[in-house]
Amino acid sequence: MTPQQIRMLAYAVAAARVGIGTAAILTPGLAMRIWLGADPHSSKVKAMAMAIGARDIALGVGTLQALGDGRNPAVWLKVGALADAADGLGTFRAFRKTSSPRILIGFIAGGVAAASWLAGSRLEETGRGSA
């Protein structure tokens, strides 16, 4: 990947993270019903969705700020990758004995984790956010 492609990947991951986090905060019941099939009216389910949404917004905004300021966003991207990997593993664990299509969300989380880790590693090699 070229340096410009790496930066674009980092921007895309960060922007998607902010968007998904915002959706989870604004519509927590829907977010968790789509992801886990959870009761969308449960206050506990909504609280978890909002916490995950806030996490994703913080990681996305941190990455975008670092990119915008010319700082290296590698740490933000790698921490986000770890969070996504945990989401993916948790999803696989919850649905491993079923044929639920929700297992696809685990694969998506894993793909985003890999993309974040790749972008973070490549940007880390350069020592700056400018790749």
CA dihedral sign of residues 62, 68, 70, 74? positive
Report whether pLDDT(130) > 60.
no
pLDDT bucket at 120, cuts 50 / 70 / 90: very high
pLDDT bucket at 129, cuts 50 / 70 / 90: low
**Phi-psi category of residue 64: left, alpha or beta, with phi > 0 → left and psi -120 to 50 → alpha:** alpha
Domains of the chain: 3-124 (1.20.140)
pLDDT, tens digit (0-9, with 9 covering 90-100), for 49-106: 999 999 999 999 999 999 999 899 999 999 999 999 999 999 988 887 777 788 888 8
d(CA 5, CA 2): 5
d(CA 118, CA 131): 12
What pLDDT score was predicted for residue 40? 81
